[in-house]
A and B are shown apart, each in its own frame.
Chain A
């Protein structure tokens, strides 16, 4: 098959980086951050880890364009799901209740 191979060494290095990022994300939870920063940093590190798994372990880096389209479309639907729903939840109460309208 025409697919390009990734060296075993690369897989091992990716796995080590993923473990280091896991230690980092647990470490950050002990820093005295305020507000939503724990969530933001935790999700940023998770996004880095997820990208590594997708690109190397799931071979997206060498996948046909059709696979990229499926991932793009999935991301688009997830964005719709989150943005439209949170748009409702977060904006409730912003407009004062006016009886009769």
Chain B
């Protein structure tokens, strides 16, 4: 790997390497740093596999009932706020870009840029949560919370049969549980990114030791992936009108 782009001098890099070795020594079961790094990354991939199945059952439930009650699910989908949903998608995609750039700069040993990219990622994660909060508030105002604020007669006036209203509630429950669990994942992600940012600011990462940045990035991108599927499945069903 070329380090020509690095802004650090050779001495600075050697010093950083010593700091890193002092705080994270090579564990004895590994042959070298590269094997240690790849093992950690593989561990994250296996964890993400369990996460896929965790979200998978929710998507499966949503799909099964969507097939069973298409009219009610489409009616529910059209009431959701696709504008905030769409903007939040772009926010998460840009945060994935800043996260991957953090890994990129960590590999090059450009610690300052790594810190900036991590800070931006955490900030964009917070923007996502704020917009999500605003969206939940608007849902509250529009009576979209079954069991708390929900009015059956509004849906009958929209042209749904009274028997179909419980199916709309079912769709909205999927919406609340899936976006809620996704929001929880974003919150955990922000916490981990801030933690990694503190470590980066202390100079713990070098071009040969950036495993924590790499592994955190994989988790962050996974959370982005879940949202990419949630957007069409929840917000974009049926033909929308402006």
What is A's interface to B at a CB cutoff of 8 Å?
A: 1-3, 5-6, 8, 11-12, 14-15, 18-19, 22-23, 25-26, 28-33, 36, 38-39, 42-43, 45-46, 49-50, 53-54, 56-58, 64, 66-67, 70-71, 73-74, 77-78, 81-82, 85-86, 89-90
Contacts and interface: CB of A to CB of B under 8 A. Distances in A.
A89 B216 CA distance: 38
Contacts of A19: 90, 93-94
Given A5-B104, A67-B45, A78-B53, 6 more contacts: A25-B231, A25-B236, A26-B82, A57-B100, A74-B49, A89-B64
A1 B37 contact: yes
A54 to B, nearest CB: 7
A12 B89 contact: no
Nearest to B73: A39
B68 interface: yes
A74 B235 CA distance: 26
A13 to B, nearest CB: 10
Nearest to B2: A5
B22 interface: no
Given A5-B104, A74-B49, A86-B63, A58 B56 contact: no
B42 A67 contact: yes
Contacts of B41: 67
Contacts of B68: 89
A33 B70 CA distance: 14
Nearest to B39: A66
B101 A39 contact: no
B185 interface: no
Given A38-B239, A81-B57, A86-B64, A43 B45 contact: no
Contact of B53 (A45, A56, A77, A85): A77
Contact of B89 (A22, A30, A32): A22
A89 B207 CA distance: 52
Nearest to A49: B228
B31 interface: no
A42 B236 CA distance: 8
Contacts of A38: 232, 236-239
9 contacts: A5-B2, A11-B97, A15-B93, A25-B236, A29-B239, A38-B236, A81-B60, A82-B56, A85-B64
